[in-house]
Amino acid sequence: MNLQEKIESLCAKARASSRSLAQSSLSDRNNALKILAEKLIKPDIINKIIAANNIDMENSRGKISDAMMDRLKLDEDRVKNISFALFKIISLADPLNQGEVWKRPNGVNIKRVKVPLGVIGMIYESRPNVTIDAAALCIKSGNAVVLRGGKEAINSNKILADLVRESLREAGLEPDCTQFIDDTSREGANLLMKQRGKVDVLIPRGSASLINTVAESSNIPVIETGVGNCHIFVDESADFVAAANIILESKRRASVCNAVESILVAEKIYKEFLPVMKRRLDELNVEIRGCEKVREVLDCTIATEEDYYAEYNDYVLSAKIISGLDAAIEHINKHNTQHSEAIITNNIKNAREFQERVDAAAVYVNTSTRFTDGEEFGFGAEMGISTSKLHARGPVGLAELTTVKYVIDGDNLVR
């Protein structure tokens, strides 16, 4: 069987099994997740996962940045945290079969109910926890999923996907509703993008180049996620200590999409604030690339226009001095990826105007951008952070993995 036939076969199996999963009970779906969660806290299984991950780490050493290595790494605590996230998903309400009911004057009874999307294709990079998060959210929402991870995490992903399928089988559900493509070539990804009719929605999660490639090449509808050029604007009324602390915490894990990438500082305070900010960022050895006014205060590299558009995924920040609120909003709306934006301010009018006028999936006041996360939002986990405006925006959780069906009853009615 060649690669095209293999991927077509996997997608066909997912399509066939999706129908039985959609009709399964909430208790059966939760039971599969419970079995999986309990497997992930068993010492022997944790050791097997870490051993597979160690191979991935060794194969990637020197080929990806330290920040991306951290994203790839699984240790005992991280595996247990994946298990804890599953228990949170189990505790959430059934996203299916909920709906509104109304009756028309002509006697037609209409019910709009939530149903699964069908088969979801997931193309992702580096982070092996996505294998479990994606599979779990799809199982809970009655969707089959076809997983295609990146080469960096192939061994970790494979063992995790096998555990998902084992758990489904033990719960009496179709294991084929979770499929894993073990080919990490570009051809494999391209073939998955062409499975229209077998796959209903494609979700890419990873670098800007990956997401752009999928959005431009797929003939399946795409929910774009993940690219995060996130800004924090320090307003002239901001508390300096609080602002520097929020900036530091927003950069502590540099490889994630909700990490801050660009700092804007009001002109009235930049000479006093920048040294306070730098002292905190020095704790992480963050490189600052600044405009000429930033360089009046800090010894740093000059920022180019490209820097203001960049998602670094590393311990690098751009910094720019801005005349005030209007200029900050204009700069953000021009350069951002519509992911997560924040203002640090004690001026409630400026806070509300910032939230109303900034175009992004999540807009924060006096809060780290790192809160844009499915678990932090109470979703248990997420498929990714959608920067799209159609169907889903922000963390893609259970509700975003459903669509609607209209169920209509009548008493021998004709129009």
What's the CATH code of the domain at 300?
A: 3.40.309.10
Domain region containing 314? 230-371
Q: What is the average pLDDT score of the chain?
A: 95
Q: What CA–CA distance (Å, rounded) separates 196 from 24?
A: 25
> Do residue 254 and residue 349 come from a single domain?
yes
> Do residue 186 and residue 254 come from a single domain?
no
Q: What is the mean pLDDT of residues 354-375?
A: 97
> Do residue 235 and residue 211 come from a single domain?
no
At 415 the pLDDT is 87
Cα–Cα distances (Å) from 37 to 34, 62, 84, 212, in that order, read 5, 33, 7, 34
In-domain check, residue 26? yes
In-domain check, residue 330? yes
Give the model confidence (pLDDT) of 257-284 as tens digits: 999 999 999 999 999 999 999 999 999 9
> Do residue 355 and residue 397 come from a single domain?
no
> Do residue 304 and residue 332 come from a single domain?
yes
In-domain check, residue 288? yes
Give the model confidence (pLDDT) of 51-92 as tens digits: 999 999 999 999 988 888 998 999 999 999 999 999 999 999
pLDDT above 80: residue 135: yes
Give the model confidence (pLDDT) of 147-201 as tens digits: 999 999 999 999 999 999 999 999 999 999 999 999 999 999 999 999 999 999 9
At 389 the pLDDT is 86
> Do residue 218 and residue 357 come from a single domain?
no
| Backbone φ and ψ of 199, nearest 5° | -115, 130
Tally of residues, the chain:
415
> Do residue 9 and residue 121 come from a single domain?
yes
The burial class, CB within 10 Å (0-12 / 13-18 / 19+), for 68 is buried
Q: What CA–CA distance (Å, rounded) separates 307 from 108?
A: 58
> Do residue 344 and residue 393 come from a single domain?
no
> Do residue 191 and residue 333 come from a single domain?
no
Q: What CA–CA distance (Å, rounded) separates 337 from 389?
A: 12
In-domain check, residue 415? no
Please tell me the number of Cα atoms within 13 Å of 325 on its side-chain side.
19
> Do residue 194 and residue 238 come from a single domain?
no
In-domain check, residue 201? yes
> Do residue 122 and residue 149 come from a single domain?
yes
In-domain check, residue 378? no
In-domain check, residue 377? no
Q: What is the mean pLDDT of residues 116-145?
A: 96
Structural domains in the chain (count): 2
> Do residue 121 and residue 142 come from a single domain?
yes
Find the CATH number of the domain harbouring 126: 3.40.605.10
Question: What residues contact residue 226 under an 8 Å CB cut-off, 6+ apart?
Answer: 204, 205, 206, 207, 211, 257, 384, 385, 387
Give the model confidence (pLDDT) of 193-240 as tens digits: 999 999 999 999 988 888 999 999 999 999 988 789 999 999 999 999
Q: What is the pTM of this model?
A: 0.91
